[in-house]
Amino acid sequence: MYLIVGLGNPEEKYAKTFHNMGFLAAADAAELLGVKFKKKECEASIAEAYLGGEKVIIARPLTYMNASGRAVRQLMARYKIGAEGLVVIYDDYDLPKGHVRIRPSGSAGTHNGMRSVIAETGITEFARIRIGIRDPEVSIPIINYVLSDVRKEDYELFTQACRKSAEAAIALARGERIDLVMGRYNG
């Protein structure tokens, strides 16, 4: 069983912000698998799919970004999913806008949502898919930047990055080796 978690903020006012790239990618994953977010449990909105007979849970925490780990911990416990079955998708200010980077483990970096996931679960050895959001043309504090709306001229770039991230998450949930998924989708 796999748990694909897209990090973001649940209110409509955050829907088009940089910090909601994970939510958008999770929505793309659900669409690609032909399922909808119909249930709310463990402080998350979830969609359930099956890949090759294996259940896949796609989740968007409703806890707000900085407390995302609470929902992830609860979902992992409820569905008895270990670190090897967890995939987290989120925005990353440390990567150039539109870049996708997949890693099998790592730190939270500058991301408070990932800090929460790591603190709540106590693990760092899980797949993460990062969507780069840094724009060298914009120089405002990170907190203001991540909560600002994506510029219209960048919308297509981020739409493609979210779709690519969703495809990578699905490939991992199909059981593809992470090094092969990294080779195909990183960049």
Tens of pLDDT, residue by residue over 5-53, are 999 999 999 999 999 999 999 999 999 999 999 999 999 999 999 998 9
* Contact status, residue 91 vs residue 22, Cβ threshold 8 Å: yes
Active-site residue, selected from the candidate residues 14, 19, 65, 182: 19
| Overall domain count for the chain | 1
Q: Dihedrals φ, ψ of 96, to 5°?
A: -60, 150
Angle (nearest 5°) at CA 167 between 34 and 44 = 60
* Contact status, residue 112 vs residue 118, Cβ threshold 8 Å: no
Tokens standing for residue 97: 């806008």
Contacts of 12 (CB under 8 A, 6+ apart): none
Q: Is 19 a catalytic residue?
A: yes
**Sign of the alpha-carbon dihedral angle for 9, 30, 117, 21:** negative
Q: Does residue 142 surpass a pLDDT of 90?
A: no
Q: What CATH number should be reported for the domain holding residue 94?
A: 3.40.50.1470
pTM above 0.75? yes
Tell me the residue range of the domain where 92 lies.
2-185
Q: What is the pLDDT of residue 148?
A: 85
